[in-house]
Amino acid sequence: MIAEIETKNSASKGAQALIFSDEVSSEIVQMLERVGPSVVQVQSGGRGIGAGVIWRSDGGIITNHHVVEGGRGAVRVALPDGRSFDAKVVNSNPTLDLALLQVDAKDLPAAPVADSTQLRVAELVFAVGHPWGHLNVVTAGIISGVGEIPIRGTNRTAQYVRSDVQIGPGNSGGPLLNAQGAVIGINAMIFGGDLAISIPSHVATEWVAGQPSRKVYLGVGIQPVELPSQDRAGLMVVAIEPDGPAHRAGLHIGDVLLAVVGAHGRAPLLDGPDTLSDVLARSASENNRVRLQLVRAGATTELEVELGTPETSA
């Protein structure tokens, strides 16, 4: 695929540039033209402008959590064909830095998605986005690393892809593509000034597939805490909504939530704030009841709660 490797002059300190044949360059241009209609612009009242990827033809769009964070619900998506839609934030995960948007449109050109678990260092990749307000900018590079980093305040790790594609403000939420034009990551941040960090596509795929079909809420404010005596983390209750589900069930400020015991007896652990709503929704029985495993005054206990829904909340 690579026709020639040319060494730059001494001013570049030995950096190398990849030079492609006309045939290969034409193939790359055609590949990017095919995927271009799947890359959208996301406008949020909280964070300005970012990018997004049409994930499903029924209007499901993936972007970064930080792109829509603080937007107060005012999120708008502009398609490459000139159409523009108000978007609903279906779910958003600050730990993964992913958000799922939904627009009222059908038969959209969903981007092809590849298996990012098979990525290798030195693979050729492309980034597409809107840096500094310039639409549909394409940059190229190679993968320089794949791996995991610990998530502060939890017992979990986050997976990442590191590459040297050039990105800037406005690339966030856009795709990292392999040489075949398939999405292998969602661009998220700049690291060290010249490296890009992307969320692997398999992480985004699994997260979207695991979205709960219904919304429930507990009515608490929480913050992560470490429990040295149990060698794990939990979520401390720091606020309780008056007459909300937690208040009615007898939850107290200072209680530390450990897990949610669902209708089938499973107890998913609660080691990060972003996990609470998802775990509650997946664990609730048909009548929205769960048992919370928690620590109160140094003792572990369980408390049954009937969760609320957005339709019944104040």
Query: What positions carry a catalytic annotation?
Result: 66, 97, 172
From 233, 212, 95, select the one nearest 159 (Cα to Cα): 95
Contact 306, 287 (CB under 8 A): yes
d(CA 144, CA 19): 19
Burial of 147 (0-12, 13-18, 19+ CB in 10 A): exposed
In degrees rounded to 5, what are phi and psi of residue 276?
-60, -55
Question: Whole-angstrom distance between the N-terminal and C-terminal Cα of the chain?
Answer: 60
Inter-CA distances, 250 with 79, 260, 265, 270, 275, Å? 48, 16, 22, 19, 22
d(CA 208, CA 75): 19
| 3-state secondary structure at position 161 | strand
